[in-house]
Structures are given as structure tokens and as C-alpha cells.
A and B are shown apart, each in its own frame.
Chain A
Amino acid sequence: MADHTHDPPPGGALLVPVGESVTLRQTVAYTMEIAAAEEISEVHFVSPVAWHDVGDVELAVRERTQSLLDRVSVWAEEDAPADAPTIHTAVIGAEEYLFSPDDYADILARYADERGIKRIIVDPEYSPGGNVPLLRPMEVALAVRGFDVIEAPASRPVRRSRLTRPGGIAQFGLLFGISFLFYQLLGGFVIVTGDSFDFFYELITGTITAGLVAGALYTVTLSNRIRLRTLGKQLLRLGLYVPYLVYEIIKSNILITTIILHPKLPIEPRMTRVRSAVWGGPALTTLGNSITLTPGTLTVRTEGQDLYVHSLFQSARDGVADGALERAVRFVFYGRRAAAIPTPRERGDYVELQGPNAESEPDAGAEADVESEPDAETEPVEEEPK
């Protein structure tokens, strides 16, 4: 895969992706056992990081990852045999958008290829990007890439089912609040406008209902850790986004109406693929749904960050390639600074899969005069393999 493949180290090397997991300690111990038994000369502990947040959270993630790696190397040295293998630790993937287990597998594979490593030991409880059901887990993705993947045998607590995740008081509280508000909304806010009987009646029934809903579902509904301040900001920005979206919908609705009613039906449907610069469930869903909502474009499929968009005519396609919605969604989820990003066309993340320009890589020369804004978080993603 990589051009500059080194020869494998003489005694062989092991790659161990690590991250927060309950069986991390056991995985390290198992790795060192293997290393001792087979006289492995190098062990690499690497921690892929995903910037699910940009800005102030980024530093915290970096520190947490570093301290995790420090801990791992201390453990590894504890377990190390007499003729200890060299232990390397690394943080990888800091400049990329990691979304699916496949993305993680990609950067791990790159790391391994550069160092000639063929064997990978995985921690059974560590599944980066694994929150998304329907995607194949990282182990499988790595095995597909031709690595010898071993799962560390770790006795572990009962495996959690995929649907539920540990939820805290914040999840419960938020869900309770939303349910309660919704209940009162449907009741027409009698709690405010009615007499005292109404007040108590609505209060009690509302509390019971919201309590039941939140109690039953708080581990299912809200999957990620909630930061109320971030959430509040995102909701505010969502409030700005909705009118913009409605405007876009109306504008393109009128366009599509003229096209449908046009006697010649001047359509040029085409499938395109956009690698979007948003990640994570809610943001990607918002982008995909927004693209679908604006007539003329339809999100057919998502694969990691790749959106397969079917478009009805050229101007709709240009809208996707120029990434106005993408920028707006980045604004909603990551803030104003993140919205300043080159368009998918400029990044080379936009490919037409049909029509005269089909499958050809975007022509860099044609776009060279377009100035792309420098932005640390938006390093161009590497070339698509053809």
C-alpha cells in the first residue's frame, strides 16, 4: 500500500491499537507474553484519535490520549521479559476525520505498512468508531487488509449489547426535560394558562410520563456524553440554520417545479460522491437530510463520510460541489470558525460517478486559481484510490 515500505524488523513486530477500554490492561499483558514467547523485537502501541470536537476539547483529548499511552508503556515495561522488545507509542490520525471502523483500519494499516508490521493484536473491548451498528468492526476491516489479526483473550465483564450505552444523570435529565416539555406542548400549556387544578394535574401526569420515558430510554436515546454548553450553542446555531434551509428549499422547489412542468423535461440525472467534512451521527444525518430536503439532490447512501448523492440537474450538483450546506452544517455543529472550509470541489472530495466527467479525478489544474482558505483542521484528505 505505502510506497516506502521498510523491511520488517528482524525479530518481527506487533502493532497494538489501544484506547480506553476495560480490558486494556489484559491486552497489554497478553501482548508482552506473545512478545516474550516469540522473541519479538518491536512492539508498537498506537492510539488513533478522533476529533469529534474541534476547539477547546481538542487539547483535552490530546492530553487524555497521551496519558493513556504513558500508562500503557509503564504496564508494558512491568510485564516485559528479560530481553525486552523496544516499545514504541504513537498517536495517529490527528489530522484526519475518523468516522467508521474502516477509517481507523485505514490509518492503522498505513502505520503498519510504513514499518513493515504484519501482525496486529486487538483489544476485544476496544472498538473505535464502533458506535455505529451496521458497519463492520475494525478487526474485520484490518483482516480484510491482509493483516494477521489476533484478538487478545481477555476475560471481560458481560458484553454490553449495542443498543444501550452507559447513561448518566445528564442523559436522564435532558431526556426527562424534553419529554416533559413535549407533553406540556401537546397539552397546550394548560400548566401555565389553566387554574390550579389544571396545574397540579398536568404537573403530576407530565412528571410521571416523562419519568417513564426517560427511565426506560435514557441509555438508548442519547448516546454521547452531553456537554450542556456545547449543546446549547448548537441549538442556537440550529435556529439560525433552519431559516436558511427553508429558503434553500423554497428556491430549489420552484426550480424543480419549472423543470417538471417543462415540456421537454430537461433533466440530467447523475450519481455523484462527496466526501463530506462532517463526522459523527447527528452531523452527518443533518447534512444528508438537508441535501435530500433541497430538491434536486438525494442522498442515496453513506459510507463513512462519503455521501452518494443523486442529483437531478447541473445546478443542484454544483450546489453540492460548492458545499454551502456542508459549511452550514459545520457551522451548526462545530462553530463559526469551522465553517470556513474549502468547498468539496476544491478539496478534491467531489466525484461524478456518471456522465461525461465520470470517474475522472477532479482536475486540480482547473481549480488552481481558486484560493483555498488555510485551515488547520481541513488538511486535504489523501487521494482516492482509483
Chain B
Amino acid sequence: MFFIDAELIRLLAFVLGVIGFVALNAAYLVWLERKEAGHIQRRIGPKEVGPFGLLQPLADALKLMTKNLITPDGVDPILFKIAPILVMVPAIMSFVTLPFSDTLVARNLDVGLLAVFAFASINVLGLLLGAWGSRNKYAVISAARVVSQNVAYEIPMLVIIVTLVMITGTLNLHEIVTLQTGGFWHWNVLKFSASPLMPVAFIIFFICMLAETNRAPFDMAEAESELVAGAFTEYPGMGFGVFFMGEYANIVVGTSLATILFLGGWDCPLGLFPGVHWFLIKMYALIFVVIWIRWTYPRTTFYGLLNLSWKILIPVAFFNLILTSAMLKVF
């Protein structure tokens, strides 16, 4: 007789649920992006393929899957094929510890925050390996940019995280949200008792999240005016498709993290009916802002990007760290 553990069933359900959630989001965020881009530019966006263009991601996915998978001459065959997976998988892994609601969390790790950042840093490695493996000068230049950009923006992001951990005293994401429940005045973004600069900290975190996921105005990875298609230049068909889905999955991870750390996760702003729907509302609102920023601002120069990080974000983040520690000590 089979003995099926309840824990095993729960685990399987969560694996399927997380993969389904990420895949569905990756597909339909592309639709949202194209639709939103259209409306921002006074166009309509996809509308002919299905009602409101809703079948567009399906058509794109089937088309990409059936394209001829070229492996160009001179590429490193292993790195070339493994790189898209290295971008996609860590994003899915991060969802293991992200709490969607009070009860809806796959694994409530005590070092959840650390785990998410550990997985998030693999994303850059995937891009670098893909660009290096595809033996294309544009891809390698793009990868060098992405790595330096990510190193530059990891620092202010982690300084903000250190500040938050000092305030909450825990790395457990579930506990971080629990500490913020009870209305929007308890959320970390408005926790003025810890530091008057908390809204600034949230904005720095958000900017760093944009830069880490290579979104405009920091999309140096795919600067098509200079670098053909950046790190994905040599990827045909679904190789490119997986990279693209990985980018959207990383946006979902980043906005979920911003929601959990600063906006109170599943907590209702007025303290009524907390639940997973509030988490999703906040997350999708942030995703909407991410896309809005992309289609509003032009791409910065590379020097502008690094100057923003090293001359503005890092000093402000460190000042916030010192101020928070002083206020925690005094009050």
C-alpha cells in the first residue's frame, strides 16, 4: 500500500501552484505591457487576436516554441542552452518562501529574506553565461554592463534591507508581514517611529528593483540602439522566450518583495478583510507602475545609471541606516 504523506501532497500542490502562477503571470504580463504601452502612446495595442487581444500571449508562445532552434557556429553548446533556464528557475525558487497570505506559504523559512536574495543573484549569472556562451561581441558588452549595473544596485538595496531587518528584528518574511498588520499606518513604508526616511527607503528599494530586473529606464541589457538585442542577441525562438519570461518572473518576485517588506503584504489598508486578494492588488499595482515607468522614461546613459547609484542612492541609503540605528537606540 502507498502511504501518501499529507505534507507531500501539500508540497506538490504548492510546486504546481507556484509554477502555474509564475508562468501565467509571465505570459499575461507581456499582454499587459503591450496593452499599456499602446494606451500610453495613444494607440490601442493588441485587439484583433481574441477578445481584447487576450489570445496574443498564446499565439506568441506557440509561435516561439515552433521556431527553428538554431545553435549558431562557435557557441558553447552547454552554456548556451542552460542560460535561459538559469534565469527562469531562480525566480520560481524565490516563490517558495514568499507568503501570499497568512496561511498560503510553501515553506516558511526563518531566513526567507536571505534565501530570496540568494536566488535573485543567480539571475545575473544566467544572463552573463548566456551572453558569454553565445560568442557575440554585443552580447558580451551587454553582459558586462548588466553585471556592473547589478553590483552597483545590489549595495543600496541590501543597505535598505539591513535597515529593515534592524527595525523588524527578523529575516522571516511571514513574521515581517505579521509585524505590519492592522492598517496602513503600521506598514513599514510609513513607520516614522523607526526612521523619518522610510518612504525614501521604499523609493530607493523600488528603483534598485527596477535596475536589478533590467527594466527601463535602466534596461542596459537590451539597449537595441547600441547593442543589437543585448545579451539575447543570438537566442532564437523559445530560448529568447524563456529569457523574456524570466524577466517578467523576476519583476513579479521584486514587486512581491516590495509588497511584503514595505506595503504590509496581505494586510488591508484599513484593517478589514485581510487576505491574498490584498497581496495581489498591491503587487499588480506595483507592476502597473513598473510598466508605466518603462513607457514614460527614455533609457539613461550608462554613466548616468552608475552615478545615480554611487552618488545618490548609496549615500542616502547609508544615511538612512545610521539614522535608523540612532533612532532605535534612542527611542
Partners in one complex: no
Binding site for A on B (CB under 8 A): none
